[in-house]
Structure 1
């Protein structure tokens, strides 16, 4: 198809890509007519995958590969492709070959299916059912219908990772009256659930739509949202940010001429979401009209709770409304019908509880997340459809209401105006702000961060960040930046560490600015299997900071460290009275442990040093957020960094030891230039980790981590009042020195 010619030309490493994008050519290569084509999953330069159902009923999944990968698959002997496909490095496999979904191996071929269903369902009549595949998303999920003498059920096969969340969601749906689980197997990733009869509200099935049904659906969603049910799975704002940025990258690969625009819109959406509060609670995770069935007596059932999680409930409404808008833009749904359905859904929700503040911003964000659908489904003229949706996202951002005025930050409205932003930058130059400033982060009543692009007199464009806060103007932090840059922390300095240029702003705006620097946060590099070299470099950077001297910084004393911990434990005790005894034990043990930390000469502390405060740009680390600089014990910074690794491991992977290799690398990097007392590191690491008990309560998405963190801390501290835990592995083991063998992953 002509619409794909440019894409195919840019990816010569996948000679089979053209086949998977052309139905007629694919039918010719397969030597059989195709009844249905699945959506595409495309990884430029690596692979393109698509499921097909042939007219004779066979199900296959096709994958276009590079020459080397194709040879590896052929060597395994699982390829069913005719020679015409093999010549183009395309493999064809049955669902049984989908190794990511373990349950499919025994459901194909058909002769092994009865035994597998009997093992799964026991004496249930469905154990003798006929299986009718409905959809297969290779490496993700297969959905099928089971039929046995008039009895029906859904059978879904998942990856092992997705199975746990899907089962949790379906069980929650059963609690809400939206179906029930008949059987499940975690080892195989299989779930069998009730077949639910009803009329789908998908606009493709009923162009006229039914306002009454949509109003009932809105009420049903609101009822689920206010039920107070919980799941351990999380859908955080950080997840949304990652999805938006990843989608922008995908659009840039599909339509390179739209790359800059997609990236810009993604960042504006990040700011838009940051400017509205989230209504935290149980969410469906993929809510749309497709997931709503109208049954007997107009009863509403919400199906497909596979992605149920704790998150911003405004995202469910935003997801549904975005899908309706795409039906209007791409599939001819009349504008009046889309408007009526939208109003009815919102009204029904409002009948039960107030609308989440974020629903409108979430609608625009979900429109953006649908940008790849026209390509994935190979809709006619998909590039034009994608651009039309980009236009719609841009219009949604233009018409979005301005962020609510923050009475504690009255200067915010001024700084979000181009002229006001230019005033904040005036100490550096006399710039012209070339686009509306974007609110990147906003903590109501406390502070805000604003993105600005400005041109200088020579016409050169530069990106800046403006920081403003409710307290008095911050003149100290720009001075700290200047002092550290004078000490060599520059992009042209001898070291591999730098801090951005920064300038004070007018006192009346309580703002200062800094040059925006490239890179991704060190947190983005934090994965159990990721290289640890950046963390070793972070240790070197911290040691270099500790060796500097900056005039006028305050002193951070052991008593100040204790006061912060004591307040955090007080907050935790008030929020969790049932844990009062355990928290009191932690308090006693921490007090004793801190008193035993030897007094040492002060060094320059960052005071909030953790992976989010470091940006990785190739071989350079940028250090940011220097407003808490102080003189104090070097082990405060080291312990704080390690505690953040512990908490991240516990929150994301269920164990504090997950990032031990990264911790060892960090300590090794520090000790290349500085000395550490490991006993003091352990104490201050534990003290910092204990502060996270209160952070778990302050941040809604971290609440599920509180009991796990308390259990870990209770094991480490002796409630009787002594430091009773064994040394943390990353602190207790010998730290590798430069040139020595180390049990860490290579960077």
Structure 2
């Protein structure tokens, strides 16, 4: 079931769920589970191969692979779209994956038609206006907003679905002043933390402006409330020019894009200067440990790549010991062009899922790593080199950050965090496409960053 199913009669949707919850598909031969993991996962990633197989269990129509995540020994998940319906596929024999909806096809893929998700049990209610509508009406009533009549008439449009992690949807209703955004999380505690911190960071930003500390450049999607019983956070929808689109690989770098990057840097300095009470600590040392562990898992299926990832993790630890102490404070935790909107003279910062307290150099480092990733992707695709353009945008970000009060003495740590973020991206690239050359190229780019950092330091 997908976003298109939300417009179907409620009884039809219920019948569809009942059918998928009881239908038994063909059980693969045990020998299929004993094949090499990369062979099985690559087969599961082939829409041409999997489309006919999904059709045999009632999931026919054009088949596309939308997303994937492979962590050897932990999970192997593929997100399909079949005839307009979203389907989560878990490779059996990897981690704790078990058949969840009675649907299993070769090469041992357990299927969960949306909104069934073994890690997001609230999704059937979150995507049903009869459940989400009254919850939203209750939240709005507690904010003093006008009463939401006939909440079951709520229209729910799926924007993004990350299997096992999060669903993002746009909500529309005649009784609303404008569309809202709902985010459903796999963990109720996570949803509560995000909702609480959205209120805190908005209040802190407003207080900073009133106190004359900030330029009022930074803005956030206004929080509305949360429904903890569903693990859902509500916020107002915000329009603006996506910085990710402005900096896209097919767009030339212009004065506008350079200005956009500089404004992003200035907005980041405002965020870092906020007095924000957050208890979520995000020490980079814990992430470096995870890098080493995940590199070992990669090495089990791609030895050379896993070894290079492990060597990079070791090198990151070595260089960290030589750096000056960090400036610790509020961080976004996932600061990249895709998280920013330009709206008039404001910069709107989206998705506060990773907000916390950490080494503040992480944010600028993550942003610059996204630009370097784009340059690497362009080279891999055979497009004209973008290295100089991405470097110009990186300089613009840092100049905007420093002009707005960012600390100059943290530049070496920012450059180190670029390499950290590139390793993170390399691991994610492997998870999405384990046989691609892209992860190895990102590891090489990270090593180049560290070599350049060695040349800059006395």
Contact 1:520 1:617 in 2 (8 A): yes
Q: Kindly tell me: are residues 578 and 656 of structure 1, through their superposed partners in 2, closer, same or farther at Cα, counting changes over 3 Å?
A: farther
The reply to whether residue 650 of structure 1 matches residue 376 of structure 2 is yes
Contact 1:569 1:693 in 2 (8 A): no
Instruction: Give the SS at the match of 1:505.
Output: strand
Q: Distance in 1 between matches of 2:395 and 2:169?
A: 36
The structure, 1 or 2, with the larger RCO (C-alpha pairs under 8 Å, 6+ apart) is: 2
Q: Structure 1's 411 and 579: CA in aligned 2 closer, same or farther, altered over 3 A?
A: closer
**Cα distance between partner residues in 1 of 2:369 and 2:62:** 45
TM-score, normalised to structure 1's length? 0.42
Going from structure 1 to structure 2, the CA distance change for 1:440 and 1:414 (only over 3 Å counts) comes to same
Contact preservation (8 Å) 1:481, 1:626:
yes
Q: Is the 8 A contact 1:441 1:450 kept in 2?
A: yes
Q: In the alignment, what sits opposite 1:436?
A: 155
Q: Where does 1:496-645 land on structure 2 (aligned, <5 Å)?
A: 496-527=217-248, 529-530=252-253, 531-645=257-371
Which of residues 109, 117, 126 in structure 2 aligns to 1:415? Answer: 126
Question: Any unmatched runs of 5+ in structure 1?
Answer: 1-263, 269-310, 319-342, 347-355, 363-400, 718-724, 733-747
Q: 2:398 aligns with which of 667, 687, 691?
A: 667
Q: Which residue of 2 aligns with 1:481?
A: 198
Could you tell me which of 181, 184, 206 is aligned with 1:465? Answer: 181
Aligned-pair distance for 1:520? 3.6
Question: Partners of 2:447 and 2:416 in 1: how far apart?
Answer: 14
Could you tell me which residue of structure 2 aligns to residue 323 of structure 1? none
RMSD: 3.6
Contact 1:539 1:668 (8 Å CA) reproduced: yes
Q: 1:686 aligns with which of 408, 411, 419?
A: 419
> Offset at 1:632?
1.9
Task: Please say if 1:406 is aligned against 2:109.
Answer: no
Pairwise CA distance, 1:661: 1.0
* Separation of aligned partners in 1, 2:362 and 2:295: 18
Tell me the residue number matched to 2:84. 361
Structure 1 residue 461: deviation in Å? 3.3
Partner of 1:726, secondary structure, is helix
Structure label with greater radius of gyration = 1
Cα 1:412–1:536 shift into 2, 3 Å: same
SS at match of 2:83: helix
TM-score (normalised: structure 2): 0.66
**Alpha carbons of structure 1 residues 568 and 317: separation in structure 2 relative to 1, 3 Å:** closer
Deviation of 1:682 (Å): 1.5
Structure 2 unaligned spans of 5+:
8-44, 53-59, 64-78, 86-111, 142-146
Superposed CA offset, 1:629-661 (max 9, x none): 111211111111111111122113446724111
Judged with a 3 Å threshold, the aligned counterparts in structure 2 of structure 1 residues 316 and 705 are, in CA distance, closer, same or farther, namely: same
Displacement, 1:538? 0.5
Using a 3 Å threshold, how does the CA distance of structure 1 residues 715 and 638 change in structure 2: closer, same or farther?
closer
In structure 1, the partner of 2:440 is 707
- CA distance in 2 between partners of 1:496 and 1:344 (Å): 47
- How many correspondences in the alignment? 343
Distance, in Å, in 1 between the alignment partners of 2:320 and 2:390 is 25
Deviation per CA, 1:211-238: give whole Å up to 9, x if none.
Answer: xxxxxxxxxxxxxxxxxxxxxxxxxxxx
Q: What is the Cα deviation at residue 626 of structure 1?
A: 0.9
Give yes or no for contact 1:453–1:461 (8 Å, CA) kept in 2. Answer: no
Aligned to 1:420, the other structure's residue is in SS state helix
User: Which residue of structure 1 aligns with residue 47 of structure 2?
Assistant: 313
Q: CA deviation at 1:463?
A: 0.6
Distance 1:406 1:487 in 2: 36
Alpha-carbon distance in structure 2 between the residues aligned to 1:402 and 1:569? 32
User: Is the 8 Å Cα contact of residues 282 and 357 (structure 2) preserved in structure 1?
Assistant: yes
Q: 1:481 Cα deviation (Å)?
A: 1.7
Matches within 5 A, 1:161-310: none
1:6-85 pair list within 5 angstroms: none
1:447 — aligned with what? Answer: 166
Corresponding residue SS for 2:224:
strand
The alpha-carbon deviation at position 687 of structure 1 amounts to 1.5
Q: Deviations over 1:505-542 (max 9, x none)?
A: 23221111111110242111114623211111110111
Q: Is the 8 A contact 2:341 2:349 kept in 1?
A: yes
Q: Distance in 2 between matches of 1:637 and 1:475?
A: 23
- In structure 2, do the counterparts of structure 1 residues 584 and 442 end up closer, same or farther at CA, with 3 Å as the change threshold? closer
CA–CA distance in structure 2, aligned partners of residues 699 and 506 of structure 1: 32
Matches within 5 A, 1:131-142: none
CA shift, 1:435, in A, is 4.4
Partners in 2 of 1:623 and 1:633 — Cα distance? Answer: 19
Aligned counterparts of 1:345 and 1:711: Cα–Cα separation in 2: 37
1:487 aligned counterpart, secondary structure? helix
